[in-house]
Amino acid sequence: MRNLIKSLTINRIYTFFGSREDLDACIKQSDIKHNIVNDGLVEFAASISWGTGTYMPPIGVKVSVVKVDLDEIKVMMKTTIRPEQYFMVAIVAIVFVASVFEVDDMPATIYVLLVWILFHVWFHFVFRVQENILAKKVAKALRLRTRQL
């Protein structure tokens, strides 16, 4: 289950070369909508969700400071599973359970599963694309470098 959740989210470690004050200055100068939650956590948000066409809740990434060295800061960028994905799973589960009890209507059960797969793939694809675009913008605005392995 943990691997499934990891595949639905972004979890990346970046390196910021500079002091903590330099990183804070980059965050404050960023033109991306953001909310400073605490000293080590900042939430960045897209202005609109393309998949649903709504403004709330926004597509977002969380950036947290993991480790601070002399002139190098390790930063983790994370996303969470969207509420719409939980909602879709709940609706499909209810409809699927109800359709299973309809013995004569097995094609309806298959239809429900196919529709769910289609919607899930659509929402996940659109959300992931927008999350990746936002993550790239945040990484560029904060001058983050990906960790070399």
What is the per-residue pLDDT across 16-32, written as a single tens digit (0 to 9) for each?
999 888 999 999 998 89
DSSP letter string, the chain: -HHHHHHTS-EEEEEEES-HHHHHHHHHH--S-EEEEETTEEEEE-S--TTT---SSPPEEEEEEEEE-SSEEEEEEE----HHHHHHHHHHHHHHHHHHT-GGGHHHHHHHHHHHHHHHHHHHHHHHHHHHHHHHHHHHHTTEEEPP-
Q: Where are the domains of the chain?
A: 2-146
What is the per-residue pLDDT across 79-120, written as a single tens digit (0 to 9) for each?
887 777 777 778 777 777 777 776 666 677 777 778 777 877
pTM of the entire predicted model: 0.76
